[in-house]
Amino acid sequence: MVVSHRAFLNLAYETRNHWKFDYTINWQGKKRIPFTGSNPLEYQLNEFSPSFYLINAQISKTWNEKFEVYLGGENLLEYMQPNPIISNEDPFGAYFDSSMIWGPVMGRLIYLGLRYRIK
């Protein structure tokens, strides 16, 4: 489940009055999925995962040398792998498999924070 094609772009900009903008886009191409064809039909996966994008962004404002406030988000498109665990309804069954995770399993995350620098 290693991606053979990947693209990454990061754009960062800082203004003279200490605003910082950071934007990251990460594209991951398809990944080969281990064979599940001997499982019952409802527990079979495709041969390859779909490709997908992950987008993260953050805005920061610095005041003097000690304080910085920031607002950001991860996985802004909220892409998540559908059904990441095979046979999740039967964790002790013969077809339960949690090793087929090829993509994000958590949705969008928005955060706000404050940094205080100690010299």
| 53-97 residue pLDDT tens | 999 999 999 988 899 999 999 999 999 999 999 999 999 999 999
Question: What does pTM read for this prediction?
Answer: 0.85
Return the closest-CA partner of residue 4 out of 55, 34, 46, 48.
48
- Cα-flanking dihedrals φ and ψ of residue 62, to 5°? -105, 130
**Do residues 71 and 61 lie in contact, with contact meaning Cβ atoms separated by under 8 Å?**
no
